[in-house]
Amino acid sequence: MGRPLADPEGEKQAQALEQGLSQFGWKRDRTVQIEYRWAGGDPERARMFAKELVSQRPDAIVAQNTAIVTALLGETRTIPIVFVQVTDPIKSGFVASLAKPGGNASGLVDLEPSLAGKWVDLLKQIAPRLARVHCIFNPETAPGGGSYYLRPLEAAATSLGVEPMAVPVRDAAGIEQAIAAIAGEPGGGLVVMPDIFNGIHHELIISTAARDRVPAIYAFRFFASGGGLMSYGVDILDLYRRAASYVDHVLRGTQIADLPVQLPVKFELVVNLKAARALGVNIPSSLLAQADEVIE
C-alpha cells in the first residue's frame, strides 16, 4: 500500500480490500495474515518496504500505484503482485498485454487517458468563461511524466476553445506558486492530475484553490469530500473490493500471469455545493442531475 497510515483514505482502502476478501472466506488473523506498509509517496521508503516484504516470501502482495509496483518488481519476479490504481501497466513494463499479463503482476487499472477530456468539459460547464486550463502534476510521479493525460487534455481543451497549460510542480511551495499564478489571470481553471504527489498534498491543493478562488476539478472523490469543488473519476474503493478476487485466485493456486488486467467500470461525479458557493460558481442544474453525489 502507498498511503500513510494516518491517512483516512488509506484506511478506507484497506477496509475495502478486507471486506472483499471476507466475501471469499478470507478473514484477517483467522484464515489469512495481512500486513501493511505505508510508503506515503516516498520512493526511498517504497524501495525499503519492497525489499522487506519480498524477504518475507508472502503468498501475494497487493500494491498501490505505479511507483510501489516498480519497487516491488525490482525485488521479485516470482511473488504474485496484485496492483491497484496503476494507470498504464503496459508502458510501465508490468505486463505484456492487458489480456495476457505474462509475468508476476496483474490487477486493476484506475483511469483512462480519455478522462482528461471529460475533466475539461466539466470545468467548462461550471466556468463558461474558462480561457486557460492548467494541469498540475509532478513529472517525477505522474503517469508518463505527465504525458499520459496531457495529450488528450490538450486535444479536448483545443476543441473547446480553451488554451491548455502544463504546470509541473515538485514541492508544496511549487503548488502554492502555481495556483497563485492561475488566480492572477482571468479565465483560469485547474485540473489536478491523478498523481500520488497530488494525492499526498490534496489538503494543500484544495485549501489554496479555495483561498485564491480558482475553480478546479479533481480525479478522485476524496478531493471533493475534502472541500474541493468537483471530482470525476473511478470509484477507488470499488477497485480495492474487486482486487480481493485476484488475491483469492492467487491463494487458491491460479497463476497471476493468467489473470487479465481489468479496466475501471464504476465512475462517480461528485459536486461540492458549499465549495461552489464560496467560489461564487453556479453549478448548472443539468450537471447536478448527472452527479452521483452532491455535497451540501
Give the pLDDT confidence of 42-98 residue by residue, as tens digits: 778 889 999 999 999 999 999 988 889 999 999 999 999 999 989 889 989 999 999
Q: What are the φ/ψ torsions at residue 265 (nearest 5 degrees)?
A: -125, -15
Compute the half-sphere exposure of residue 31: CA atoms within 13 Å on the CB side of its CA: 11
Q: What are the φ/ψ torsions at residue 56 (nearest 5 degrees)?
A: -85, -5
> Which is more confident, 10 or 228?
228
Give the pLDDT confidence of 112-153 residue by residue, as tens digits: 888 999 999 999 999 999 999 999 999 988 888 888 899 999
Q: How far is the C-alpha of 244 from the C-alpha of 250, rounded, in Å?
A: 10
Q: How far is the C-alpha of 109 from the C-alpha of 263, rounded, in Å?
A: 5
Q: How much of the chain, in percent, has pLDDT values that exceed 70?
A: 98
Compute the half-sphere exposure of residue 216: CA atoms within 13 Å on the CB side of its CA: 32
| pLDDT of res. 45 | 87
> Which is more confident, 39 or 169?
169
| pLDDT of res. 112 | 81
Over the chain, what is the mean pLDDT? 93
Mean per-residue pLDDT for 201-223?
A: 96
Contact 41, 200 (CB under 8 A): yes
Give the pLDDT confidence of 196-211 residue by residue, as tens digits: 889 889 999 999 999 9
**Nearest alpha carbon to residue 84 among 102, 69, 94:** 69
| Distance from the Cα of residue 2 to its chain's centroid | 11
**Nearest alpha carbon to residue 105 among 133, 144, 140, 65:** 65
> Which is more confident, 1 or 130?
130
Q: How much of the chain, in percent, has pLDDT values that exceed 90?
A: 79
**Nearest alpha carbon to residue 191 among 112, 118, 135, 115:** 135
**Nearest alpha carbon to residue 260 among 82, 39, 60, 33:** 82
**Nearest alpha carbon to residue 201 among 115, 142, 157:** 142
Q: How far is the C-alpha of 138 from the C-alpha of 54, rounded, in Å?
A: 28
What is the dihedral sign for C-alpha 34, 35, 38, 42? negative
**Nearest alpha carbon to residue 155 among 190, 125, 128, 118:** 118
Q: In the beta sheet, which residues pair with residue 136?
A: 167, 192
Contact 256, 102 (CB under 8 A): no
Give the N- to C-terminal CA distance of the chain in Å, as an integer. 32
> Which is more confident, 87 or 257?
257
Q: Give the residue carrying C-alpha cell 518475507.
A: 56
pTM of the model: 0.86
Q: How many CB atoms lie within 10 A of CB 152?
A: 18
Alpha helices in 39-171 (DSSP H): 43-55, 65-73, 115-126, 147-159
Task: Please give the single-letter amino acid code of residue 285.
Answer: S
